[in-house]
């Protein structure tokens, strides 16, 4: 079913499903099955030939995953989605669905470290050239592209710098050149809908806020259905030329009766079929549970984060606090243009006494968990210089925004008094 509401609070509860047709189960059932019985040989043949859409095998589709896919597509204002085994597989598929050896794409330098590695090293081994540009200059995307550029890539709210990416400006540059923008919106669900600002594809690590409770790893790719692949057909041979792996199907033609889903359909029936990074039905159920309270949780996360940022700003042990609520100038204008209802729940700060103080602060925390994760209901902290960024040279650490005394917080849903009390006592130990 489609839900007749534009309100996220309603969409997350109702889009894509209303009581199971057979059992009347109100909660979405976990379809823990590998396969689906065909009604006849003709039925099986039609499914494989995509003449009829239906379930074949859980590596490629599953009814629980299907509801999650419909719900996230509705929430984002997209046309269809694909659930995958992790955020990493989502970003991998998002790019591989357009690029092959000899192609390139232009990406923001401000990326999650795992994505940076994937782009700079693994894609390089595959003959795909990731061209990194500074996102504070949107025109850098134009300058870096050529006839073999297949997409632009960026994160809405990348840490540690927490400068909101200029989605609108870069999407507009790309659309004029026939290049789609892929946006990783992991840190800003609900707050930002990248399709409203011109993005063509949205990627999530569902592991973070969508799951919301630190229980499950998963990823999502959402197709905006708003990019004209045929108009710029020469850039997208994977979508507009016969696909030898599928009886010569031309995906932009094949989807004509189905709607503008060439991008996501190809991803499902070729990349997911071949590489197999499928989300388990159980994890899809966990993400559906998370989605139901996502709007409420994001509001509460953001309210607590603003309070934390203000609190840290007044502390003598702290030299700098990083949160969009404290920004001015162009950065703040971009944050206000792209985020609605809050500035996110990641807060960075720098301790006056550097690396040793960072260690003492983390070791002193009692309520916050010391983990390499974000987006849990619990408050989390990490000292990047000794953990996530320890392998980088001091120069590369600085370029990525990580100083010796930098601490990253992911603010949770505990009572704000308890969060501030824990920060207060850990800061006292850090000085
Ligand atoms: N994108 C962002 C912004 C992330 O923070 C992460 C993980 O930390 C990922 C992608 C990768 O997601 P996953 O850990 O689910 O593979």
Distances in Å between the Cα of 107 and the Cα atoms of 115, 285, 339 are 10, 32, 21
The total number of structural domains that make up the chain: 2
In a domain, 182, yes or no: yes
Q: How far is the CA of 184 from the centre of ligand 1 (A)?
A: 9
Last residue of a domain, one of 289, 311, 334: 289
In the prediction, which pLDDT does 390 show? 82
In a domain, 9, yes or no: no
Atom nearest to 217 CA in ligand 1: 15
**By alpha-carbon position, which residue is closest to atom 14 of ligand 1?**
87
Angle of helix 63-76 relative to helix 281-292, nearest 10 degrees, comes to: 30
Whether 134 and 236 map to the same domain: the answer is yes
Whether 400 and 279 map to the same domain: the answer is no
Taking residues 365-382, what's their average pLDDT?
97
pLDDT at 136 over 90: yes
Range(s) of the domain holding residue 223: 15-289
Mutational pocket test of ligand 1: of 85, 86, 88, 192, the residue with most ligand atoms within 8 Å of the beta carbon: 88
In the prediction, which pLDDT does 411 show? 98
**By alpha-carbon position, which residue is closest to atom 5 of ligand 1?**
112
Q: How far is the CA of 192 from the centre of ligand 1 (A)?
A: 17
Mutational pocket test of ligand 1: of 83, 87, 154, the residue with most ligand atoms within 8 Å of the beta carbon: 87
Q: What percent of the chain has pLDDT over 90?
A: 92
Residue 158 contacts residue 166 (beta carbons within 8 Å) = no
Last residue of a domain, one of 229, 257, 289: 289
Whether 124 and 156 map to the same domain: the answer is yes
In a domain, 414, yes or no: yes
In a domain, 4, yes or no: no
pLDDT at 142 over 70: yes
Mutational pocket test of ligand 1: of 122, 156, 207, the residue with most ligand atoms within 8 Å of the beta carbon: 207
Whether 285 and 299 map to the same domain: the answer is no
3-state DSSP assignment of residue 155: strand
Mutational pocket test of ligand 1: of 90, 108, 115, the residue with most ligand atoms within 8 Å of the beta carbon: 115
pLDDT digits (tens, 9 = 90+) for 291-305: 999 999 999 999 999
Last residue of a domain, one of 248, 268, 289: 289
Distant-in-sequence, close-in-space partners of 47: CB < 8 Å, separation ≥ 6: 38, 53, 54, 55, 56
pLDDT digits (tens, 9 = 90+) for 319-371: 999 999 999 999 999 999 999 999 999 999 999 999 999 999 999 999 999 99
Whether 163 and 66 map to the same domain: the answer is yes
Whether 99 and 210 map to the same domain: the answer is yes
Whether 308 and 283 map to the same domain: the answer is no
Taking residues 266-288, what's their average pLDDT?
98
Q: How far is the CA of 207 from the centre of ligand 1 (A)?
A: 7
**By alpha-carbon position, which residue is closest to atom 8 of ligand 1?**
373
Residues lining ligand 1, CB < 6 A?
86-88, 112, 114-115, 155, 184, 186-187, 205, 207, 217, 219, 374
In a domain, 8, yes or no: no
On the CB side of 197, CA atoms within 13 Å amount to 25
Whether 80 and 225 map to the same domain: the answer is yes
Residue 131 contacts residue 116 (beta carbons within 8 Å) = no
In the prediction, which pLDDT does 2 show? 61
In a domain, 79, yes or no: yes
């Amino acid at each position: 079913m489609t839900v007749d509401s534009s309100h996220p609070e309603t969409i997350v509860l109702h889009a894509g499903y209303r009581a199971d047709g057979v059992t009347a189960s109100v909660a979405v059932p976990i379809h823990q099955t590998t396969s689906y019985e065909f009604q006849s040989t003709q039925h099986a043949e039609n499914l494989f030939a995509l003449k009829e859409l239906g379930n074949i095998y859980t590596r490629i589709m599953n009814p629980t995953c299907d509801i999650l896919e419909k719900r996230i597509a509705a929430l984002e204002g997209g046309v269809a989605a694909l659930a995958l085994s992790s955020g990493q597989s989502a970003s991998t598929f998002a790019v591989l669905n357009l690029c092959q050896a000899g192609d390139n794409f232009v990406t923001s330098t401000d990326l999650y470290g795992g994505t940076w590695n994937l782009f700079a090293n693994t894609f390089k081994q595959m003959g795909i050239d990731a061209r990194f540009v500074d996102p504070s200059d949107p025109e850098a995307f134009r300058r870096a592209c050529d006839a073999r550029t297949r997409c632009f890539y960026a994160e809405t709210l990348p840490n540690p710098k927490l400068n909101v990416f200029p989605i609108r400006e870069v999407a507009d540059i790309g659309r004029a050149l026939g290049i789609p923008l892929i946006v990783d919106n992991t840190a800003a669900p609900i707050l930002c809908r990248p399709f409203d600002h011109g993005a063509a594809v949205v990627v999530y690590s569902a592991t973070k806020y969508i799951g919301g409770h630190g229980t499950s790893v998963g990823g999502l790719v959402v197709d905006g259905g708003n990019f004209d692949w045929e108009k710029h057909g020469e850039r997208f041979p994977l979508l507009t030329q016969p696909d030898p792996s599928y009886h010569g199907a031309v995906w932009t033609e094949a989807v004509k009766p189905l709607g503008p889903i060439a991008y996501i359909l190809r991803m499902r029936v070729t990349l997911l079929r071949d590489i197999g990074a499928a989300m388990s039905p159980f994890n899809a159920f966990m993400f559906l549970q998370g989605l139901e309270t996502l709007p409420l949780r994001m509001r509460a996360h953001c309210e607590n984060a603003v309070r934390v940022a203000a609190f840290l700003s007044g502390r003598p042990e702290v030299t700098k606090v990083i949160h969009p609520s404290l920004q001015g100038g162009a950065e703040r204008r971009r944050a206000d243009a792209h985020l609605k209802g809050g500035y996110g729940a990641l807060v960075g700060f720098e301790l006056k006494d550097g690396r040793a103080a960072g260690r003492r602060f983390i070791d002193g925390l009692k309520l916050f968990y010391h983990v390499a994760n974000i987006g849990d209901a619990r408050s989390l902290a990490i000292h990047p210089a000794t953990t996530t960024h320890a392998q980088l040279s001091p120069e590369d650490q600085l370029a990525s925004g990580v100083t010796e005394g930098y601490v990253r917080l992911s603010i949770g849903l505990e009572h704000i008094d308890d969060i501030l009390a824990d920060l207060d006592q850990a800061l006292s130990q850090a000085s």
